[in-house]
A and B are shown apart, each in its own frame.
Chain A
Amino acid sequence: MNGGAMFYGAAIALIIGGIMIAATKRNLIKIIIGLNIMETGVNLLLITTGYISGGTAPIMNKTWTKVVDPIPQALVLTAIVIGVAVTAMALSIVVRIYEKNNSLDIRKIKEMRW
């Protein structure tokens, strides 16, 4: 995994960046974008674990060449689908919040505390 370090670094940066966006932004849409960035980072990390430098797509044919691990790719596909579902769920809640509050500012829905 000689080329991996860069990918790992990028993945971790994306994750931390995404979480920070989610933590600091007030606009609900931006928060969800932050979550999406974080998910992308996680997916990148997953892919990287199965990556072999110079490998090709894991398609079984007669000539066995250097292929990357197929399982992470399958996992990422699933993770992407799940991510989309979460995003859709989040956006639908946001739509309703907007209908109620006429605002996307999360500070304005801080009624429940303590």
Chain B
Amino acid sequence: MTLFYILLILFVGGILTYLGAKISKHLGHAIAFTSSTLSLYFHSILYGKLYGFTIDIGLFKLHAVAFSPLSWLIGEIVVVIGFLSILASFKEKHSDFYYLSVQFLLAGMLLFVNAYDSITLFLSLELVTLFSFFGIWDGRKESAVKYLIWNLLGAYFIVAAIAILYRFTGSYFMNEVHYLGKAQKLVLFLLLFAGFAVKSALMPFHVWVKDAYRDSPHSFTALLSGAVSKIGIFGYFLIMFYTFAKFFIGAKYLQLTLAWLGGITALFAGIYATTKDDSKELLAYSSISQLGYVVAGIALATPLSISAGAFQFVGHAIFETLLFFTIASVAYRTGTTRMTELGGLIKKMPVSFIGLLFGIIALSGIPPTVGFPGKWMLYESFIIEGRILLAAVIFTASITAFLYSFRLVYSIFLGPLPSKYEDLKEAPFNFTFPIIVLLIPLLLFGVQPGIVLYYIDRFLSIFGIGKIEHSYSYIVTSLGKFNALYVGIVFAAAFVFAFIVYLLGGRTRKVHQFDNFTAGEVVDESYKLHYVDDFYLFLEREIKGFLKLRIESLYDWLSKFVDGLGDAVRRVYSGSHGDYIVYLGFTLLLLILIYGGKLWF
């Protein structure tokens, strides 16, 4: 019942926060902090246990059972990021309802990862949709509406599949489906997959992400990217290796199609990310791209690739959240997320800089961070399976990751400092704390990937998938053995060496950035010392034709079409009573002729 109490804490805490904030802002904060801390604590002590509950609400019975260790893992990601996000959001301006939404959202996600029957699954999915909608609503409403429409579309795919499943199985449980035909299984699988694809922003269902991430409150974006997107990933695991396990393991072509979908998502989103000026838009596309790796990994369905995908999503939860928190702290101090308006913050905000630096190192998959082992295993699994082309696509996607992450760190923290930011200070503790906390697993899991892999083994064995050979620091595949600890040490040593070389280098003198001249002119603020506008213009020029090909134009056309249809359809109501009588009379005559015809002629 512990899980039930956690949900209760979050629901009651949410309502109390809302009411408390009406009395005093601080009371509301205190309640939100307490409830998120309590949920974090109680969820953490569930580690390694079997837990769950059943409640009867009359119409249905709701079952929430952690039927695999994956539930705890994603649940823990949710409560940790939720706690950090709530902590950071105290410094931001929010409506009272915001804290209620966040806590309800956390409860919804916890319920989702433990949902044992399809009713609970759909209920919690809708809860997640609704309350992340309200979270974004606190930022900008248009984006929230876009988010809602897309995610409801996904939820409707899922509920349609649930209804059809119920027809054939007569049960609401998400147990393995045995006695359906292949075609039926395929259709149901694809419906469910599409539903979860909207949540995890797989292409072509990714168009809401850019707006939602850019416009949501900064600390909420971390939650959206770090935790809410994992809902979709959990859904993939659920359908691929549980509900449709036998079908999916046998369906090679389906696996390959989905893996390619993931690969293409990784590549395209990476390319789009390099062209973005808004740092949150850039990170939004990077998040899509990184989740594309995850999909490619788990869809290939070998023990190594699934482990790689699972490791990658844990990594994604860490570094993507970290990156969004650093952007949040920058935005808190400067009030903007546009990279052209930023620059040179390295000395003003060192902690944020360190956070962002390690974040992008992990993002690009460089040791000794959590981004490396996952990607390494992913490449190896592709090569072992002989999917060289897919590996090449994913590798190209990694190159784009280098490009956009360099742009991120350069435009925000390096280069000249705009004079309006002269008196800037480091972000408050509420922002630096999450950054520091997230740096620990980022490095730890990078050199000791086994900590995560042992846990991944546990749920892979529950799903009946074989495991890979590994210890805390090394991983063995058929291509050889790789020791993350050694690699990490080597990289760290190289870094230290380079740093020593830098220290021993020529004499330097520190000057102010405008104590400078170029082409004989003394420079001032109006003079551009570095290129931030159109950072990758030379690249964009090359792929101009590609950038024009956007799925958004199709969706825009569709929405215009529906709008036009609405305008056309309502003209049926012409306002003339004569027309209405004619409708009535003709329909009646028609009915009599159609049905009477069968009888009389």
Instruction: List B residues at the A interface (Cβ < 8 Å).
Output: 570-571, 573-578, 581-582, 585
Contacts and interface: CB of A to CB of B under 8 A. Distances in A.
Query: How many interface residues does chain A have, given as a range?
Result: 10 to 19
Contact of B570 (A19, A31, A107, A114): A114
Contact of A24 (B570, B573, B578): B578
A112 B574 CA distance: 9
Contacts of A96: none
B571 A23 contact: no
Contacts of A22: 577, 581
A114 B576 CA distance: 11
Given A22-B581, A111-B575, 10 more contacts: A19-B585, A22-B577, A23-B582, A24-B578, A31-B577, A110-B576, A112-B575, A113-B573, A113-B574, A114-B575
Nearest to A107: B576
A22 B570 CA distance: 24
A106 interface: yes
A79 to B, nearest CB: 20
A23 B575 contact: no
B583 to A, nearest CB: 10
Contacts of A106: 576-577
A29 B432 CA distance: 80
7 contacts: A31-B577, A106-B577, A107-B576, A110-B576, A113-B575, A114-B574, A114-B575
Nearest to B571: A114
Q: Which 8 A-B pairs have the closest CB atoms?
A: A113-B575, A23-B581, A110-B575, A23-B578, A114-B570, A113-B574, A114-B571, A112-B575
Interface in A2-59: 19, 22-24, 31
Contacts of A110: 575-576
A19 B586 CA distance: 12
Max count, chain B CB within 10 A of own CB: residue among A22, A107, A111, A114: A114
A22 B582 CA distance: 10
B507 to A, nearest CB: 80
Nearest to B570: A114
A107 B575 CA distance: 9
Contacts of B571: 114
Nearest to A16: B585
A105 to B, nearest CB: 12
Interface string A97-114: 000000000110011111
A88 B171 CA distance: 59
A114 B567 CA distance: 8
Nearest to B579: A23
B574 to A, nearest CB: 6
Nearest to A34: B581
A23 B573 contact: no
Contacts of B574: 113-114
A110 B577 CA distance: 9
B567 to A, nearest CB: 8
Contacts of A111: 575
B539 to A, nearest CB: 50
A57 to B, nearest CB: 35
A93 to B, nearest CB: 13
A27 B352 CA distance: 78
Contacts of A19: 581, 585
Nearest to A31: B577
Nearest to B589: A16
Nearest to B578: A23
A32 to B, nearest CB: 12
A24 to B, nearest CB: 6
B107 to A, nearest CB: 44
Contacts of B576: 106-107, 110, 113
Contacts of B578: 23-24
A114 B573 contact: yes
A74 to B, nearest CB: 28
A21 to B, nearest CB: 10
A42 to B, nearest CB: 15
A113 B577 CA distance: 11
B575 to A, nearest CB: 3
A8 B573 CA distance: 34
Max count, chain A CB within 10 A of own CB: residue among B570, B576, B578, B585: B578
Contacts of A23: 577-578, 581-582, 585
Contacts of B577: 22-23, 31, 106
A114 B572 CA distance: 7
A27 to B, nearest CB: 12
Contacts of B585: 19, 23
B303 to A, nearest CB: 61
A33 to B, nearest CB: 14
A25 B582 CA distance: 13
A108 to B, nearest CB: 11
A60 to B, nearest CB: 40
Contacts of A112: 575
A31 B578 CA distance: 10
Contacts of B570: 114
A114 B578 CA distance: 15
A20 to B, nearest CB: 8
Nearest to B588: A19
Contacts of B582: 23
Contacts of B573: 113-114
